[in-house]
Amino acid sequence: MSRPEEEGAGLVSVATMEIIVAALFFAFGAVVMFDSYRIGASWASDGPESGYFPFYTGLIICTAALVLLVQGFRKRAQVAVAFVEAGPFRQVALVFFPALVYVGGIALAGIYVASAIYIALFMVFLGHYTWLRSVAVGLSVGLFAFVLFERWFHIPLPKGFVERALGF
């Protein structure tokens, strides 16, 4: 993802990020206004329509976003400050994307199995622990969660083929 000589370099400047976020805010505000207008944002015979309040919410978001956009562009003309450096961002990505895979895995394998696998792999690849220790920690957290929720609190969580095979 990043070559070693790039470590410490800024991936994107704060000003650029400010502009992106402000633009997203504007788009969001516009969607809110559009949908509120669609369902009616004015005054009906029985009082304000459903879109009345959200329409103005969207309008304020768009106004604030425009101001922030202008401020962002002004900031961009000045000295660039890095939003995040390549090295730290790699750390963030290493946590975030496997976590996304984990959430996807919950639907497949159930929350207990997915959690045990996720914790074990995280420890092996990011914490550099031995497989034995990592699997032990992963399994015990998974088992503890299972007993806690299914047995003690009677709160059913998503289960997968392993639990089904064991007859739960």
Partner 1 sequence: MEELQSLMHGFAIAMTWQNLMLMFLGIILGVLIGVLPGLGGANGIAILLPLTFTMSPTSAIILLSCIYWGALFGGAITSILFNIPGEPWSVATTFDGHPMARQGRAGEALTAAFTGSFIGAFFAVVMITFLAPMVAEFALRFGPPEYFAVYLLAFCSFVGMGKGSPWKTIAAMMLGFALAAVGMDTVTGQLRMTFGSTELMRGFDFLVAVIGLFGIGEILLTMEEGLEFKGRSAKINARVVWQTWKELPKFWATSIRAVLIGCWMGVTPGGATPASFMSYGVARQISKNGHNFGKGEMEGVVAPEVAAHAAGTSALLPMLALGIPGSPTAAVLLGGLLIWGLQPGPLLFVEQKDFVWGLIASMYLGNIVGLIVVLTTVPLFAAILRIPFSIIAPVIIVVCAIGAYTVNNAMLDVWLMMLFGVVGYVFKKLDYPMAPMVLALVLGDRAEDSFRQAMLMSQGSLSILWQNWLVGGISALAIALLLWPFLAPLRARLRKAPEPA
Q: Contact positions toward partner 1, by CB under 8 A? A: 14, 17-18, 21-22, 25, 28-29, 31-32, 35-36, 39, 43, 47-54, 57-58, 60-61, 64-65, 67-68, 71, 83-84, 88-89, 91-92, 94-96, 99-100, 102-103, 106-107, 111, 115, 118-119, 122-123, 126-129, 137, 141, 145, 149, 153, 155-158
Gap between the Cα atoms of 115 and 1, Å rounded: 26
Q: Minimum CB separation from partner 1 for residue 130, in Å? A: 13
Nearer to partner 1, 45 or 167 (CB): 45
- The structure tokens 């401020």 sit at 71
Min separation Cβ 5 and partner 1, Å: 19
Smaller CB separation from partner 1, 5 or 28: 28
Q: What is the DSSP letter of 151?
A: I
In the complex, the smallest distance separating the C-beta of residue 132 from partner 1, rounded to whole angstroms, is 14
- DSSP-assigned letters across all residues of 45-90: TTEE-TTHHHHHHHHHHHHHHHHHHHHHHHHHHS---EEEEHHHHH
- Residue 111 burial (C-beta neighbours within 10 Å; 0-12, 13-18, 19+): buried
**CB of 60: closest distance to partner 1 in angstroms?**
5
Tokens of 156: 């059913």
